């Protein structure tokens, strides 16, 4: 598992307020590629609990079951799934921590 903080530019609503183009938003990256269900979602949930409300978590996974698991986790926790992408057998999720 690799976790790191990066800064990305976002043009979407974050934390109930609009982010202007060019504004930097901190994004924590959680790499759980190579792990199988239920470990990716368990690690994501643990990491989200360590983040402040409104923080962004980018999760990278390789297990196809993670797609439905992340959706279910967000419904159960109230965290917001902002983005879900699949490309060449890898999955990327952007989750905003509820608060």
Map out the domains of the chain as residue ranges.
Answer: 2-96
Q: State the Cα–Cα distance between residues 17 and 4, nearest whole angstrom.
A: 25
pLDDT of 39-92, one tens digit each? 999 999 999 999 999 999 999 999 999 999 999 999 999 999 999 999 999 999
Q: Which CATH superfamily is domain 2-96 in?
A: TusA-like domain (3.30.110.40)
pLDDT at 17 over 70: no
- pTM score of the predicted model: 0.76
Known catalytic residues are: 37
What contacts 24+ positions apart, CB below 8 Å, involve 33-37? 33/60, 33/61, 33/62, 33/90, 34/62, 35/1, 35/61, 35/62, 35/63, 36/63, 36/65, 37/63, 37/65, 37/66, 37/69
**Band (25; pLDDT cuts 50, 70, 90):** low
The counts of H helices and E strands in the chain are 2, 7
Look-up of token digits 């979407």? 12
Look-up of token digits 């797609």? 67
């Amino acid at each position: 598992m690799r976790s790191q903080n990066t800064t990305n530019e976002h043009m979407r609503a974050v934390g109930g307020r609009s982010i202007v183009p060019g504004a930097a938003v901190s994004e924590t990256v959680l790499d759980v590629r190579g792990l199988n269900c239920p470990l990716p979602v368990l690690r994501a949930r643990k990491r989200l609990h360590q983040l402040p409300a409104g923080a962004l978590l980018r999760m990278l996974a390789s297990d196809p079951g993670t797609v439905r698991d992340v959706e279910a986790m967000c419904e159960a926790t109230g965290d917001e799934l902002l983005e879900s992408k699949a490309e060449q057998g890898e999955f990327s999720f952007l989750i905003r921590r509820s608060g």
